[in-house]
């Protein structure tokens, strides 16, 4: 018994108080979290500084996001895809011209800064003319009127006449909202095998088609074998008269 008691402290020390290696804990900085969020933004899409801050775990730190991205020169972290909440471009350490160029290469052009124009209280007669009224009821901001989701809205120039029956002509400028869910009969921008096209979505006998508005063009059936993605929904068309 005495021998066992004498050995007890050594046994306890060996089995219970032995120093064990602690697991390595990697601390991820806010900067690394921001870079990881921005790295995952796909081409053709954008996030706002506030959205990046929220995804990185600090929703109120959107100004810090801008400062951190301004220090980044890694081409694998597409800082040009981060914009301001009001739809304007925001900063870019390679210059605004380069940011615009990159966005255009991805078929993305953001709206210009807000500018309000006068709106007359009277309507314009399409039949016989009526006396003009010389007062202005309000001032209209076309961004507010046509753009409901600035960070998700872009301009796309049309090439071709496959949608002329829908009033969309070659050279027209389309306002495209990427936040709207594409549904039956919506006019959409689709990407098929890497090429952009504007068509109307129609479901016929449980099959989905991209329908032209010109009899000279054939409908395109969307199948599982196709590399097809709906890029956004057309909300407005701008063209000269």
| Tokens matching residue 156 | 């796309």
CATH of the domain at 75: 1.10.10.10
* HSE-up of residue 84 (Cα within 13 Å, Cβ side): 11
For the annotated catalytic residues, the residue numbers are 162, 199
Name the token pair of 237: 């068309």
The beta-strand segments (E) located in the chain are 47-48, 82-83, 116-120, 136-141, 153-157, 173-177, 187-192, 195-204, 207-211, 220-221, 228-238
What pLDDT is stored for residue 112 in this prediction?
A: 47
Burial class (CB in 10 A: 0-12, 13-18, 19+), 161: middle
How many domains are contained in the chain?
Answer: 3
φ/ψ (deg, to 5) at 189: -100, 120
Q: Residue 160 maps to which CATH number?
A: 2.10.109.10
Distance CA 76, CA 35 (A): 9
Range of the domain at 54: 30-105
Listed residue (40, 87, 36, 74) closest to 57, CA to CA: 36
Pair of tokens at residue 175: 């306002």
pLDDT value of residue 118: 60
One domain for residues 154 and 141: no
The answer to whether residues 177 and 227 belong to one domain is yes
Question: Do 95 and 129 sit in the same domain of this protein?
Answer: no
Instruction: Note if the pTM is more than 0.75.
Output: no
Asked whether residue 13 carries a pLDDT value surpassing 60, the answer given is no
Judgement on whether residues 213 and 159 belong to the same structural domain of the protein? yes
Contact between 201 and 230 under an 8 Å Cβ cutoff? The reply is: yes
Q: Name the CA radius of gyration of the chain, rounded.
A: 29
Q: What is the pLDDT of residues 118-170, one digit of tens each?
A: 655 555 555 555 555 555 556 667 777 788 877 778 888 888 999 999 999 99
């Amino acid at each position: 018994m005495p021998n066992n008691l004498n050995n007890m402290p050594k046994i306890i020390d060996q089995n219970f108080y032995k120093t064990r290696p602690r697991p390595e804990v990697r601390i991820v900085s806010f900067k690394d979290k921001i870079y990881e969020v921005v790295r995952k933004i796909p081409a053709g899409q954008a996030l706002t500084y506030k959205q990046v801050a929220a995804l990185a775990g600090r929703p109120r730190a959107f100004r810090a996001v801008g400062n951190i991205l301004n220090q980044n020169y890694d081409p694998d972290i597409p800082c040009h895809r981060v914009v301001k909440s009001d739809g304007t471009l925001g900063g870019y350490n390679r210059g605004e011209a380069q940011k615009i160029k990159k966005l255009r290469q991805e078929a993305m052009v953001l709206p210009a800064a807000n500018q309000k124009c006068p709106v007359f209280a009277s309507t314009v007669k399409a039949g016989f003319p009526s006396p003009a009224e010389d007062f202005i009821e309000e001032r209209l901001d076309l961004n507010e009127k046509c753009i409901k989701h600035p960070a998700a809205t872009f301009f796309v120039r049309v090439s071709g006449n496959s949608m002329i029956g829908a009033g969309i002509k070659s050279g027209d400028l389309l306002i495209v909202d990427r936040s709207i869910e594409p549904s039956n009969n919506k006019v959409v921008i689709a990407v098929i095998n890497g090429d952009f096209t504007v068509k109307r979505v129609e479901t016929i006998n449980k099959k989905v088609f991209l329908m032209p508005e010109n009899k000279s063009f054939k409908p395109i059936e969307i199948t599982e074998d196709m590399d097809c993605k709906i890029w956004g929904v057309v909300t407005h068309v701008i063209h000269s008269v």
